[in-house]
Amino acid sequence: MNPNVFRKISYGLYAIGTQDAANKRPTGCILNSVMQVTSSPATVAISVNRDNYTNPCIRESGMFSVSILSEACDPAVIGKFGFRTGRDTDKFAGVAYELRENMPVLKESCGYVVCKVIASMEAPTHTVFLGETVDCDTLNDEPPMTYAYYHKVVKGKTPKNASTYIAEEKPAKKTVWRCTVCGYEYDGAIPFEELPDDYVCPLCGAAKDMFEKVEA
């Protein structure tokens, strides 16, 4: 079997939001597995890894939001929501958002959907939550970001707990500076050592001292 065929399936890129009752704050994650199941009533399905902190938070709150990311989305937002855990990170801190039906929605997304959970199904590693829409709207006319755009243009990485994660084939080894938070590899014209001390990872915002020199 060649699992790369699954990359031919069209995916978007979405910021999922919910409420974290334990820490009394909103939390969330990045997903690409979001789909509309029915139109009347408008029903949405999302697939969330059981190791992801957002999973139990959705179970407890009984609701979730889907912020549809656009091609203009700051990659640092994807890094923050996709490569850090809500267990010890306030993911919405410093991010413009508003509450819709008490669910967090990113203001710079091109649209959002808020759902109440009406059913769930357990897959081997993920939970599929089925949600009935209670609020939704478009926010701007920016084109939505596709998963292919994220990989080819943004040069983003996929977390191992993502539903579409595929182990990459490794090219010939070379020495690179790699972000220890999200895996981004610096390939700029300026030698990494000569970058200013305030340089941060363009994907997740990690500081320069969070990079390590490795054989890739």
Is residue 82 in some structural domain?
yes
> Does residue 136 sit in the same domain as residue 37?
yes
- CA within 13 Å, CB half, 76: 11
How many distinct helices (H) and strands (E) make up the chain?
3, 12
> Does residue 144 sit in the same domain as residue 179?
no
> Does residue 133 sit in the same domain as residue 188?
no
CATH code of residue 41: 2.30.110.10
> Does residue 109 sit in the same domain as residue 190?
no
> Does residue 127 sit in the same domain as residue 198?
no
Is residue 134 in some structural domain?
yes
- Which of 98, 121, 152 delimits the end of a domain? 152
Is residue 117 in some structural domain?
yes
Judge if the upstream peptide bond of residue 171 is cis by omega within 30 degrees of 0. no
Is residue 165 in some structural domain?
no
Query: What domain range includes position 77?
Result: 10-152
Judge if the upstream peptide bond of residue 3 is cis by omega within 30 degrees of 0. no
Report whether 81 contacts 15 (CB < 8 A): yes
> Does residue 75 sit in the same domain as residue 135?
yes
Q: If residue 189 lies in a helix (H) or strand (E), which one and from where to where?
A: none
> Does residue 193 sit in the same domain as residue 136?
no
pLDDT per residue of the chain (216 residues) written in tens, 0 to 9: 777 776 677 788 899 999 999 999 999 999 988 999 999 999 999 999 999 999 999 999 999 999 999 988 888 888 889 888 889 889 999 999 999 999 999 998 999 999 999 999 999 999 999 999 999 999 999 999 887 766 665 554 454 454 454 455 555 567 899 988 888 889 888 999 999 999 999 888 888 998 999 886
Is residue 122 in some structural domain?
yes
> Does residue 29 sit in the same domain as residue 128?
yes
Residue closest to 129 by CA, chosen among 61, 210, 40: 61
Q: Can you give 120-176 as a three-state secondary structure string?
A: EEECCCEEEEEEEEEEEEECCCCCECEHHHHHHCCCCCCCCCCCCCCCCCCCCCCEE
Break the chain down into helix, strand, coil percent, rounded to 5.
Answer: 15, 40, 45
Residue 137 burial (10 A CB sphere; 0-12, 13-18, 19+): exposed
> Does residue 116 sit in the same domain as residue 210?
no
- Which of 152, 184, 203 delimits the end of a domain? 152
Is residue 158 in some structural domain?
no
CATH code of residue 186: 2.20.28.10
Domain tally, the chain: 2
> Does residue 128 sit in the same domain as residue 179?
no
d(CA 127, CA 49): 6
Is residue 170 in some structural domain?
no
Is residue 201 in some structural domain?
yes
> Does residue 137 sit in the same domain as residue 181?
no
Residue closest to 128 by CA, chosen among 21, 42, 19, 31: 31
pLDDT score for 165: 43
> Does residue 147 sit in the same domain as residue 179?
no
d(CA 208, CA 202): 11
Q: If residue 193 lies in a helix (H) or strand (E), which one and from where to where?
A: none
